[in-house]
Structure 1
Amino acid sequence: MPVSAADVQFVRELLQRRAAIQVDETKEYLIEMRLEQLAREVGIASIPDLVRQARGQKTIETRIVEAMTTHETSFFRDLHPFNLLKKEVLPQLVAARQTTRSLTIWSAACSSGQEAYSLSMLILENFPDLARWPVRIIGTDISEQIVAKAREGKFRQLDVNRGLPATLLVKYFEKIGAEWQLKPIVRSLVDFRQMNLLDTWNMPRPDIVFMRNVLIYFDQITKKNILVKLRGLIPKDGALFLGAAETATTIDDKWDRFANENATYYRVRP
């Protein structure tokens, strides 16, 4: 049964209220597709029945928000930011942190964990001296379900075929049945947590933030609020990586832009 206009409006208002995600009228097909899949997963007969239950049950409401959240990700996605991190940002921060000898990286809206685990492998491969430091990579996502999947560190053949060099697959994964399991040395650097970016950020101060392809889903007010919160969290020599189609400087002018290696990062203006 096609989704009704009233149910589409309910979902759009729910996403705006719970996650500040904007879904315009042209995405009705996406709402219908995601809700049909969710209804099958939870054993509800139809989309109208699913929405009807969501209007009175917080659990179903949350499942709809999670179902509508985009989880597109891959290992070393858009490789250039990782190259810039390896060649410029991390060497600078490692030199600057010789006294405290600690490093924290935040992978925001981490989905099933490929970005956070890519960061872990990058550090293991290129910065062996950090093995003696307390290095923390914190991956957060609004979906508890997707965070639980990320914690498992298990990936399909299709997942490891996207962006992951064969040398790293052989070195850091074990084949278990039809899946590939990350080894403990990679997983030990990463801590996954459920977190809504609209809520309080209960986390340690990150030196580096990867918040790529996240702001594009928010309205201008929410984008500005997030960037202001980041300014209060990231140290002056820290680095913020956004998606290729995103920018900080036109939304919040307290950021400086740095570009190299066909990628961009931002620092809080002194």
Structure 2
Amino acid sequence: MTPSDYEYLRKLLKDSSGLDLSADKQYLIESRLLPLSRKTGLSGISELVQKMKGGSASLISQVVEAMTTNETFFFRDKVPFDHFRDSIMPEILRARAGRKSIRIWCAAGSTGQEPYSLAMCLKEMSVALSGWRVEIIATDLSQEVLEKSRAGIYSQFEVQRGLPIQMLVKYFKQTGEFWQINPDIRAMVQHRQLNLLHDFSQLGVFDVIFCRNVLIYFDQDTKINIFNRLAKATESDGFLVLGAAETVVGLTDVFKPFPDRRGLYRPNGARATPAKLPAASAVAPKVAAMAGL
């Protein structure tokens, strides 16, 4: 791979998915794209780049797919789900008692473990939520992972990662070597392909937004842009949940930390700086759930 090939790929990935690779990540591109080159019958990354420059939208999409990994597991990091159960939901139950509805957005839903973990948490609160309208929307960059999420089928390895055994028995059915989450849990989650770099105002306003382990891969200006727009998508008394390595502190004042709850934020009521959306790319609108890069 030549330096010009690397720069072309860096720019393409940043423009299309927000992935901001430093100058020393050439090895990462090679490890991800050499297998794709072989799979598509090409001699290497240079030929792959030439095909992409020729306008192959399908190949561009496959490259973005290969570069955006989807590492996730049930109840990942545990703490955000403790916050959801112990801090967020008690407040939501009080504040929304009149309208009896809750809207939740998982902005990097990947293969479904996060939105389904939330759905199971809510199912455990079914008595308190009797008569409530519950809506969970899961979005992601990758259509492939969204399809896996819709199916709700996981390997033995996947269900062993973070999922309490009592929830596995209660909410899954074993089929051969795999486990499928029950239809009533799957029905609680809606799936949409979306790109955080693009306008997401059509989704409406949410009581709770989980946007974890995706912004860490964006540059500072992109993070600020997204935070400002997330603030507009969050109810004034709603909640934003970020990953352990992510924060709004030092970037924007549209959210403020929730006292003594790491990774949990609330709208600050501050006026967001108008955010200019990036130009649409040739890649289909998606949102990245990237980890382990």
Calculate the TM-score normalised by the size of structure 2. 0.86
> Residues 91 and 127 of structure 1: is their aligned pair in 2 closer, same or farther, counting only changes over 3 Å?
farther
- Residue 111 of structure 1 contacts residue 150 of structure 1 at CA under 8 Å; is this kept in 2? yes
2:289 alignment partner in structure 1: none
1:139 alignment partner in structure 2: 138
Counterparts in 2 of 1:104-115, with a 5 A limit?
Answer: 104-115=103-114
Shift in Å, 1:52: 2.0
- How many Å separate the matches in 2 of 1:128 and 1:40? 54
Shift in Å, 1:34: 1.2
Counterparts in 2 of 1:7-156, with a 5 A limit?
Answer: 7-55=5-53, 56-156=55-155
1:213 alignment partner in structure 2: 213
- Residue 241 of structure 1 contacts residue 264 of structure 1 at CA under 8 Å; is this kept in 2? yes
- Residue 107 of structure 1 contacts residue 115 of structure 1 at CA under 8 Å; is this kept in 2? yes
- How many Å separate the matches in 2 of 1:248 and 1:169? 35
Q: Which has the higher contact order (CA 8 A, sep 6+)?
A: 2
1:176 alignment partner in structure 2: 175
Backbone CA RMSD of aligned residues: 1.6
1:224 alignment partner in structure 2: 224
Shift in Å, 1:268: 0.9
- How many Å separate the matches in 1 of 2:198 and 2:88? 28
- How many Å separate the matches in 2 of 1:106 and 1:12? 29
Count of residue correspondences: 267
1:253 alignment partner in structure 2: 253
Give the unaligned 5+ runs of structure 2: 270-293
> Residues 211 and 46 of structure 1: is their aligned pair in 2 closer, same or farther, counting only changes over 3 Å?
same
- Residue 12 of structure 1 contacts residue 23 of structure 1 at CA under 8 Å; is this kept in 2? yes
- How many Å separate the matches in 2 of 1:206 and 1:266? 14
Shift in Å, 1:44: 4.2
Calculate the TM-score normalised by the size of structure 1. 0.93
Identical pairs, percent? 42
Shift in Å, 1:187: 0.5
Deviation per residue, 1:15-73 (Å, 9 max, x gap): 11112220112221211111123234445453333222222211111221121113111
2:164 alignment partner in structure 1: 165
